[in-house]
Amino acid sequence: MGNSISHFTQKLTELLQPIEQQRAHKLNLIVHAGTPKTGTTSLQTYLNKKQRRLRRKGFLYPHNTQKITNPFAPKHQWFEKNLVAAHTMHFLENFKNILSQVDIDTHTIILSSEGIYNYWWDFPDESKAMLTELSTLFDTEIWVWFRDPLEFIESYYKQCIRNPKVEGNLCYGSNLTFSEMLDIRWFSQHLDYQGFVTDCQSLFGQSSVSALEYKDDVVQAVIKTLGISTPHDNPTPRQNNSLNSASIALLRTINQFDIKNKDKDLLMPHLKEMNLILHNYGQHTLIDEESRQRVLKLARPVEFQQSIDTA
């Protein structure tokens, strides 16, 4: 483990050296880590579309590498995927790609993927060591939005049912009830907001984490912080709305047939159309009273900040 981390640090230091010689300080690195179901897709779509406007202000929202299955995806899923698998060289390759996009006016790099929070507890020690190295090479900030625990975990449950099956994950693409899924540690640990913040503070520094309450338009909050808002900006439409409870019941039925992921993908557009029709039939919560009390006991909330901290 030590050799691979040392190699990662050495190579990244070498890449940063000529860049840092042109400026009097380290590059800033903002990592938007989620959480899931807090307007992350809307934010990623906006930042991806506004890359030129961001560039003019010195912010880089980088393109993905061509080696990624979908290099034009607006999020940076390679970040958590490389960390889960401890692919040090792949992680380095992506940072090489990012630094190749830095120009003389760039002062801040922004990366975004809700999967960072989603898979945080799956990162091995080697990967967390890489994150610590990043904190020494960049002035690093972690931005994370948290919803009310009951709202979040129900929405996240729906997303798990909706997701394609993944080997080793009992929640994705399952037909479990909410109560049954809450029994699975991997699922319920996502209620540990404070645990995530504490871990990030230990890796990146005590003042590195902005823990924010999700209650309105995340896009507007971010662009105001970055100084790229204009009087003509409109409220941002949601890009990834949750399915209602009636549609989730249908999807659980589909999932029990162990359907192939490619076939599930073919069904999803039809299910979304049904979701619109079923809107008035699926507004009830999927959390019974016993599960509600369990969620409130499991949840570890954080003290929210009023606004995003920036370096």
**Would you say residue 253 lies in a domain?**
yes
**Would you say residue 303 lies in a domain?**
no
**Could you tell me the two tokens for 163?**
């997701």
Helices (H), the chain: 2-20, 40-49, 51-56, 78-84, 88-100, 115-118, 125-137, 149-162, 178-182, 185-188, 193-204, 218-226, 245-255, 261-277, 289-298
Tens of pLDDT, residues 149-158: 999 999 999 9
Which pTM does this prediction carry? 0.89
State the sign of the Cα–Cα–Cα–Cα dihedral 217, 222, 225, 229. Answer: negative
Among 189, 224, 209, smallest CA distance to 295 is for 189
Q: How far apart are CA 309 and CA 292, in angstroms?
A: 33
More confident residue, 238 or 113: 113
For 271, residues 6+ apart whose C-beta sits below 8 A from its C-beta are 243, 247, 250, 251
Judged by average pLDDT, the poorest of 129-143, 216-230, 272-286 is 216-230
CATH number of the domain to which 237 belongs: 3.40.50
The range of the structural domain enclosing residue 166 comes to: 2-298
C-alpha distances (whole Å) from 218 to each of 32, 136, 167, 267, 296 are 11, 28, 32, 30, 25
**Would you say residue 305 lies in a domain?**
no
**Would you say residue 309 lies in a domain?**
no
**Would you say residue 99 lies in a domain?**
yes
More confident residue, 122 or 68: 122
The pLDDT-based confidence of 236 (bands split at 50, 70, 90) is low
Statement: residue 36 has pLDDT above 70: yes
Statement: residue 239 has pLDDT above 60: no
Q: For residue 280, what is the DSSP state?
A: G
Q: Which residue has the tokens 């909706």?
A: 162
State the average pLDDT over residues 220-237: 76
The pLDDT-based confidence of 308 (bands split at 50, 70, 90) is confident
**Would you say residue 310 lies in a domain?**
no
Tens of pLDDT, residues 245-301: 999 999 999 999 988 999 999 999 999 999 999 988 888 999 999 999 999 999 999
What is the distance, to the nearest Å, from the Cα of residue 92 to the centroid of all Cα atoms in its chain? 20
For 172, residues 6+ apart whose C-beta sits below 8 A from its C-beta are 160, 163, 164, 165, 166
Tens of pLDDT, residues 114-123: 999 999 999 9
More confident residue, 241 or 289: 289
The per-residue pLDDT of the chain, averaged, comes to 91
Domain count, the chain: 1
Question: What's the maximum distance between 2 C-alpha atoms anywhere in the chain?
Answer: 61
Residue 281 pLDDT: 87
**Would you say residue 119 lies in a domain?**
yes
For 232, residues 6+ apart whose C-beta sits below 8 A from its C-beta are none
Is there a contact between 135 and 204 (Cβ–Cβ < 8 Å)? yes
**Could you tell me the two tokens for 113?**
């993927």
**Would you say residue 97 lies in a domain?**
yes
